[in-house]
Amino acid sequence: MNTMAKRLTAAAAALVIAAGSVYTGVCLTENGKVSAAETSAQTASAYKGKTPKYIFMFIGDGMSYPQIQVTQDYYSAIRDTNNNDILEADSYLNFTHFEAAGSAITYDSTSFCPDSASTATSLSTGYKTYSGTINMDETFTTSYETIAEKLKDQLGYKVGIISSVNLNHATPAAYYAHQSSRNNYYEIGLEMIDSDFDYFAGGGLKQTNGKNGDKANIYDLAEKKGYNVVMTQAEAEKLAPEDGKTIIIGETLADSDSLSYANDRKKGEWALSDYVDKGIEMLDNDKGFFMMVEGGKIDWACHANDAGSTISDTVALGGAVNEAIAFYRQHPDETLIVVTGDHETGGLTIGYAGTDYDTFLTNLKNQKLSYAKFDSDYVAKYKENNTSFDTVMKDITRLFGLKAPAGSAEREMQKDSADKHPESNNDGTLELTKYEYKLLKDAYNATMTRTGDEELSQAEYVLYGSYEPLTVTITHLLNNKSGVNFASYAHTGLPVGVFAQGAGSELFNGYYDNTEIYDKLAMLTSVK
């Protein structure tokens, strides 16, 4: 056995051993993989149910319990019309009602705060690997076959891969590619069109002509491989199963050629759910299908500490799941739906030091656009035109609801906002304190003077990360005034939720390693 394949650091092993006296349901296998509790293993071996013919795998990139709960709580807040000061919880996301609910541990061979490439590898192949690596071992000499590849090759399932971000990004790539680095975008794109998978849909490919722009265009190569490459909604709407293998690229692409954030999407622009709906149609066949759907911009929003966009894209993923639920109701004995995350991003919390035990989540309704669109449509022009802070502040009030403090020159030029809270002592107001106002002015100055070539100091990174100082400060202030906070611009080590409905769903109950999600799917379908 390759020693690198032990797949647990000494620290991880020590942690498990130390915990053994407290929780005896966890044990180490020969290759170092954390196995499920014995009772879980017995459940799996005793499974006598029907093999799912249709499998939906939904991955909220960066989505753990905080992202799910803040979305639920936000909708509970805005739907609260009883006006009696008594909260009523609202399970807005349908997948939280699924018949099975579990939790998955997300560490990889590199870190307890893993990246998307390695965690998606665990989900798709059942193996741990280094952060940044896609479906290869830690020596970069052994490739792992994915659940999607096995289902297609061994059972004849059709396969669909959908993502709100680039189709050769880490998570979708983990279902068809095998690369030492997730940044090998061109090579990943070549593997994508060599996969012979039946349906790809979502954001545009990165580095379509190679890193240096000197390679054959991947879209052209895809057409030579027999793919229909479709780049308009009108063309996509006309597609039918008899059209064969298809790649749909979103007609309206946003930051980094991804699909638009849900809170930026224009009327008539396809949502993630539309690509799932079309995928169900295109993958229809007698043998069955496997569909992986990634809500990738949950992760991007959390990296940027944008709670409003996090919520809107979590809702978008929930809408995509609803399409699978509708299909499940037509085929309840043959369908399995699994919803999970690859890791948590941002260290999101419901609660903030400045609001104590209170939350004012309805404040987030004031956010009219994502941080990315504010950057592209507003901040870029501020820099170009050297726009005054007074003018910028008017936009901030209009687009995010934040108001200058009473008595300031900027406040005198603003209309009172419509935010109202039943709480006393003006708690929940969107009026900035003098301290907050200074943070915003400092961030404006940092944005207007930053060239992008500077080496950030520790203080600057803690305040702004690698994002536009003005933009991330706006979202920080709005988050905090809503009773929400982020601890990081990176990933964290929280476990993720696993929700399952349909054939074999009972196997997904419990607390286990993320590699076991693959194990359960493989066991249910009998692939080797």
Instruction: Give the CA angle between residues 279, 285, 288 to the nearest 5°.
Output: 85
Neighbour tally for 514: CB within 10 Å = 29
Q: What pLDDT does residue 488 have?
A: 98
Judged by DSSP in three states, 341 sits in strand
CATH of the domain at 227: 3.40.720.10
Q: What pLDDT does residue 138 have?
A: 97
Same domain flag for 358 and 341? no
Q: Is residue 11 part of a domain?
A: no
Q: What pLDDT does residue 331 have?
A: 97
Q: What pLDDT does residue 22 have?
A: 34
Q: What pLDDT does residue 412 have?
A: 52
CA-based end-to-end distance of the chain = 19
Same domain flag for 437 and 495? no
Judged by DSSP in three states, 81 sits in coil
Q: How many angstroms separate the CA atoms of 59 and 382, rounded?
A: 36
Please list the ranges in the chain whose pLDDT falls under 50. Answer: 1-32, 34-40, 42-43, 415-426
CB 258 within 8 A of CB 166: yes
Nearest CA to 295 among 169, 164, 159?
164
User: For 5-32, how does the pLDDT look when each residue is reduced to its tens digit (9 = 90+)?
Assistant: 334 433 343 333 333 333 333 444 444 4
Same domain flag for 477 and 496? no
Q: Is residue 23 part of a domain?
A: no
H, E, C per residue of 283-297: CCCCCCEEEEEEECH
Same domain flag for 321 and 194? yes
Q: What pLDDT does residue 418 have?
A: 42
Q: Which domain holds residue 362?
A: 349-485
> Is pTM beyond 0.85 here?
yes
H-run or E-run covering 97: none
Write the single-letter amino acid at 4.
Answer: M
Q: How many angstroms separate the CA atoms of 506 and 44, rounded?
A: 9
Domain count, the chain: 2
Residue corresponding to tokens 């400045």 = 354
Q: How many CA atoms lie within 13 A of 484 on its CB side?
A: 27
Q: What pLDDT does residue 82 have?
A: 60
Q: Is residue 10 part of a domain?
A: no
527 Cβ contact list (under 8 Å, min separation 6): 147, 150, 151, 154, 155
Nearest CA to 76 among 300, 350, 399?
350
Q: How many angstroms separate the CA atoms of 393 and 414, rounded?
A: 9
Q: What pLDDT does residue 451 have?
A: 83
Q: How many angstroms separate the CA atoms of 419 and 431, rounded?
A: 10
The residues that bridge with 248 in the sheet, in sequence order, are: 201, 230
Instruction: Give the CA angle between residues 336, 108, 52 to the nearest 5°.
Output: 10
Q: What pLDDT does residue 92 have?
A: 87
H-run or E-run covering 484: strand 484-485
H-run or E-run covering 248: strand 246-249
Q: Is residue 13 part of a domain?
A: no
Distance of CA 22 to the CA centre of its chain: 33
Same domain flag for 140 and 277? yes
DSSP string, 314-325: HHHHHHHHHHHH
331 class by beta-carbon count within 10 Å (0-12 exposed, 13-18 middle, 19+ buried): middle
Same domain flag for 238 and 343? yes
